[in-house]
């Protein structure tokens, strides 16, 4: 049997999701002045405006076994490493304990394009590689793909959901052995379900094969947290999730604006 064909992908910003538990007792024992200085410093860090080079945002976790979620997007893994180091050296770090983190990179999976090219050229040939490179570059130039690879934080969507997931690889239900046409069709159906949530959910898909324990990170933003429940329920009934989806830990958070920090940490 010929090896199933991997989809061409495009990558953009690297992403790091960090979940921290707060040492409330220690923080509460600090003088009001010191606490205020710490929180002002932290708030300033996260209110840094989104730029072409990436952004960081902070969320209060609700449940999930941790207190804070920091989400960072940067152009290189070196810069992500720099963010980690800077945070470790910050004054706030003494009050934080890392509970979970997730490294990935924004990804656009080009299933449809790959399936199309595979119908015209024999995979592995020069013609195939050339067609994939050309059409991927075209896709990458589109506004739609750029907004997936370099996502802006939706200011009006205060709620975030993050979870890692993988595609199943068990006898009978192995995603990685399916022909590209079949995967392309299943992903098309997935996209159609997703599009019903246009304007209500913003999804950021980050790929983590070879980078972390699961295969993708799913970061969703919404105005109403019930939309998370709705879309994830709807998708459970799409074949690609029903048959092939495997899920990690779910985290739900509320965006922390600069003015929320003092409130959250008030003794």
Active site residues: 163
Opening angle at CA 194, ends 6 and 211, nearest 5? 40
Total of residues contacting ligand 76R (CB under 6 A): 22
Query: Helix 226-236 crosses helix 180-195 at what angle (to 10 degrees)?
Result: 150
Which of the residues 163 through 222 are near ligand 76R (CB under 6 A)? 165, 167, 187-188, 190-191, 194-195, 197, 201, 203, 205, 216, 218, 220
Cβ atoms of residues 73 and 135 within 8 Å: no
Which of the residues 224 through 263 are near ligand 76R (CB under 6 A)? 231-232, 235-236, 241, 245
132-135: Cβ within 8 A, 24+ apart: 132/8, 135/110
Which residues contact residue 257 at a Cβ distance below 8 angstroms, ignoring those fewer than 6 apart?
47
Tokens 């707060």, residue located: 22
Cβ atoms of residues 201 and 220 within 8 Å: yes
Nearer to ligand 76R, 21 or 209 (CB): 209
Q: Write the interaction track for ligand 76R spanning residues 137-166; mark x where CB under 6 A is met and - where it is not.
A: ----------------------------x-
Nearer to ligand 76R, 22 or 232 (CB): 232
Nearer to ligand 76R, 83 or 110 (CB): 110
CB of 194 to ligand 76R, least distance (A): 2
**Residue 206, CA distances (Å) to 37, 73, 152, 199, 240 in order:** 34, 10, 14, 20, 17
CB of 227 to ligand 76R, least distance (A): 10
Q: Decide: helix, strand or coil at residue 111.
A: helix
Q: Would you count residue 105 as binding ligand 76R (CB under 6 A)?
A: no
CB of 214 to ligand 76R, least distance (A): 9
Retrieve residue 9's tokens.
């992908």
Nearer to ligand 76R, 91 or 188 (CB): 188
Contact positions vs ligand 76R (CB under 6 A): 109, 165, 167, 187-188, 190-191, 194-195, 197, 201, 203, 205, 216, 218, 220, 231-232, 235-236, 241, 245
């Amino acid at each position: 049997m010929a090896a199933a064909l991997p989809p061409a992908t495009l990558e953009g910003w690297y992403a790091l999701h960090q979940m921290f538990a707060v040492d409330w007792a220690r923080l509460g024992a600090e003088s009001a002045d010191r606490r205020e200085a710490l929180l002002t410093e932290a708030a300033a860090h996260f209110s840094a405006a989104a730029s072409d080079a990436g952004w960081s945002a902070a969320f209060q976790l609700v449940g999930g076994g941790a207190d804070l979620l920091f989400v960072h997007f940067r152009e290189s893994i070196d810069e992500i490493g720099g963010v980690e180091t800077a945070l470790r050296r910050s004054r706030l770090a003494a009050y934080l304990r890392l509970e979970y983190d997730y490294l990935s990179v924004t990804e656009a999976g080009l299933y449809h394009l790959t399936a199309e090219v595979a119908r015209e050229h024999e995979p592995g040939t020069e013609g195939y590689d050339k067609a994939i490179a050309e059409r991927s570059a075209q896709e990458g130039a589109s506004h739609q793909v750029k907004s997936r690879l370099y996502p802006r934080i939706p200011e009006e969507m205060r709620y975030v959901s993050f979870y890692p997931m993988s595609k199943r690889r068990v006898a009978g239900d192995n995603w990685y052995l399916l022909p590209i046409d079949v995967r392309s069709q299943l992903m098309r159906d997935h996209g159609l379900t997703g599009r019903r949530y246009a304007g209500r959910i913003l999804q950021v898909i980050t790929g983590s094969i070879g980078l972390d324990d699961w295969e993708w990170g799913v970061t969703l933003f919404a105005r109403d947290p019930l939309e998370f429940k709705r879309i994830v329920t709807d998708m459970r009934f799409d074949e690609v999730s029903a048959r092939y989806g495997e899920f990690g830990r779910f985290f739900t958070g509320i965006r922390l604006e600069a003015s929320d920090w003092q409130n959250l940490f008030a003794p």
